[in-house]
Chain A
Amino acid sequence: GPKVLQIPSHQIIDMGQMVTLNCDPVSNHLYFYWYKQILGQQMEFLVNFYNGKVMEKSKLFKDQFSVERPDGSYFTLKIQPTALEDSAVYFCASSPDWGFYEQYFGPGTRLTVL
C-alpha cells in the first residue's frame, strides 16, 4: 500500500539547537499532519497543513515550531530552539482529503533532546 517515509528515524540533539524532521507523504495526498507520541502511547495532534497553509494547530504547537512543504517536496517540522520536553516520537501522516479518509502514517522520528 501507499507509504509515508520519515527521515531521520532517530535524532539526538542538544537543548537549544534547531532540528528539522522530514516527511515524504503519499504522492497524491493533499492533507498533511504531525502528531507527537509520548511514552509509547498518547498520540497528540500538533498541526494540520493543506494547500501551503496551517489549517489547524494545537496548544502543543508552540511558537518554536514551524511547518512547510516547499514546492511539493518534503513536509517538514522545524523546532527552533528545542527544549527537553520536545523529546518524543513525531509521526507524520497524510490523507487524500479530510473527514472520512484514512490517514497514512510514517514510522516516526524519535527525537531525543539532551
Chain B
Amino acid sequence: AQSVTQPDARVTVSEGASLQLRCKYSYSGTPYLFWYVQYPRQGLQLLLKYYSGDPVVQGVNGFEAEFIKSNSSFHLRKASVHWSDSAVYFCAVSPFNNNNAPRFGAGTKLSVKP
C-alpha cells in the first residue's frame, strides 16, 4: 500500500537559514509527487510537483525539491527562509496508473524565528 512519511513533525529555523523538510514514500513505481503548504486557517496551496525529468524541480517562493529515486525521497528545500514561511508543509503522493486520490504525509510544522 502506498504511504507517505514526513519524519519531522516540527522544525524550527532562524530567518535567513537554509531549510530541508523530509519526505519519503512507499510505492511500487514512480508516483506523482507534490508539496503543499497550509497557512493558518486556510486550505492547502500547491508549492511544486514532480513526475519526470530533471530531478530538481522549482516551485513558488524560492522552494525547490529533489527527487531521489534510489531513496524514494522527495525532500523540500529553500536556501534562505523568511518569517512568512512559517506554516505546515505537506508532502503528497498520487499513483501513476489509476485515479486514486493523493495521499498526504502527516505534515511538518515550520516555525521561523526572527
What residues make up the interface of A, taking CB atoms closer than 8 Å to B? Answer: 4, 31, 33, 35, 40-45, 48, 50, 55-56, 91, 93, 98-100, 102-108
Q: A residues within 8 A CB of B42?
A: 107-108
CB distance from A102 to the nearest CB of B (A): 5
Most buried by A among B32, B44, B45: B44
What residues make up the interface of B, taking CB atoms closer than 8 Å to A? Answer: 9, 32, 34, 36, 41-46, 49, 51, 88, 90, 94, 96, 99-104, 106-107, 109
CB distance from B88 to the nearest CB of A (A): 6
Besides the contacts A41-B107, A100-B94, A107-B43, what 19 more A-B pairs have beta carbons closer than 8 Å?
Answer: A4-B43, A40-B88, A41-B88, A41-B109, A43-B104, A45-B102, A45-B103, A48-B100, A55-B99, A56-B101, A91-B43, A93-B44, A99-B32, A99-B94, A100-B49, A100-B51, A104-B43, A105-B44, A107-B42
A-B contacts at CB below 8 angstroms, number:
65
Interface contact A105-B101, CB-CB below 8 Å: no
Known contacts A41-B106, A43-B104, A43-B107; is-contact A98 B43 (Cβ 8 Å): no
Residue of B43, B46, B88, B109 near A106 (CB, 8 A) is B43
Q: A residues within 8 A CB of B102?
A: 45, 103
Q: Which 10 A-B pairs rank lowest in CB-CB distance, beginning with the nearest?
A: A105-B43, A98-B99, A48-B101, A43-B104, A41-B107, A105-B44, A102-B46, A100-B32, A42-B106, A107-B43
